[in-house]
Amino acid sequence: MPTQLFNAALRLVIAFTAVGAAAASASGETLNRAISANQHASEKTMSQHPYVGMWVTDDGHIRHELLPNGRYDEARGSRESAYRGRYEVSGNHIEYWDDTGFTADGDFVDANTLHHAGMILRRK
């Protein structure tokens, strides 16, 4: 009798585990679709703002490329891709999230000038 009870309990555990795994898989797929749709919408918005392109300090030391997919790639001196991350533009303000966790922001003071982290970058 104890063996039958144990086997019945084991079958219940297996059944609940299978149901839980299927539910987690379905909710994971839903979450992945939502994230993908949000990224697509963000990329579309980023590619539509007027600031995509290369921004450079007057001495050429800092080269900051705003990519149309909402990512940026910053070179410093001879160090290409010194910093990479994502960005968002809202009006004339830009927020940065570096892949290492660093955050920064800046403001476009006109169509060809970006003030960022104490630097002045110009559109190239």
- Flag whether pLDDT at 74 surpasses 80: yes
> CB under 8 Å to 113, separation ≥6 — which residues?
120, 121, 122, 123
Nearest to 66 by CA among 100, 114, 109: 114
pLDDT band, residue 48 (cuts 50/70/90):
confident
Provide the pLDDT for residue 112. 97
Alpha carbon distances (Å) from 121 to 9, 54, 56, 114? 68, 9, 5, 5
Architecture of domain 51-123: Beta Barrel (2.40)
Domain boundaries, the chain: 1-48, 51-123
The stretch 93-102 carries a mean pLDDT of: 96
Instruction: Tell me how crowded residue 68 is: count the other CB atoms within 10 A of its CB.
Output: 13
Provide the pLDDT for residue 27. 54
Rg of the Cα atoms in the chain: 24
Higher pLDDT, 9 or 106: 106
Burial label, 65 (beta-carbon count in 10 A; 0-12, 13-18, 19+): middle
pLDDT band, residue 2 (cuts 50/70/90):
low
Rounded CA-CA distance 29/46 in Å is 25
pLDDT band, residue 24 (cuts 50/70/90):
very low
Beta partners for 49?
A: none
Provide the pLDDT for residue 21. 47
Q: Average model confidence (pLDDT) for the chain?
A: 79
Stated pTM of the model: 0.63
